[in-house]
Amino acid sequence: VTLWILNKNKNGHTRDIGDVSRDYRSRKDEILFMDLRRWGSEYEKKYIELTEDDIKEVALNFHNWQQADYETTYKDVPEFCKSASFEDLEANDFSLVPSKYIEFVDKDSGIDFDTEMKRIQQDFKTLLQEEKDSQAQLINTFKTLGYEL
């Protein structure tokens, strides 16, 4: 699912919300991208839902990004969010695909392929030997019982 929040009022202003006064900064020529694909909890085996805590964290991040003091309360987080400028959009041919802006961590880049394949090879070799030993024990057990295979 993709959620788009469109806001024409991107000029700096102050707004009283309940007992709290919020100072909004000018966000002209900026877009906040968030990717929540790795968020949420599974239910009914085929659905993912955001928990109340997830929703609160996303909302807090969004509100922090809008505030005048966002330098201290908001930061870009890999695999979650990125504040993109107009220049960033222009450099990406004005694509609005979040993955073009949000940094993703390549968890495989630190793996030494040759070392990992040798480890897998050794594990597989051990499993095959254990299977061979188990077969020999089973054949011997049947033989002991007088039912040679």
pTM greater than the 0.75 cutoff: no
**Distance (Å, whole) CA 1 – CA 24:** 28
The whole-angstrom separation of Cα 70 and Cα 64 is 6
pLDDT in tens for each of the 149 residues of the chain?
A: 667 777 878 888 888 888 888 898 999 889 999 988 888 888 888 888 888 999 999 999 999 999 999 999 999 999 889 999 999 999 999 999 888 899 887 767 777 888 888 999 999 999 999 999 999 999 999 999 988 88
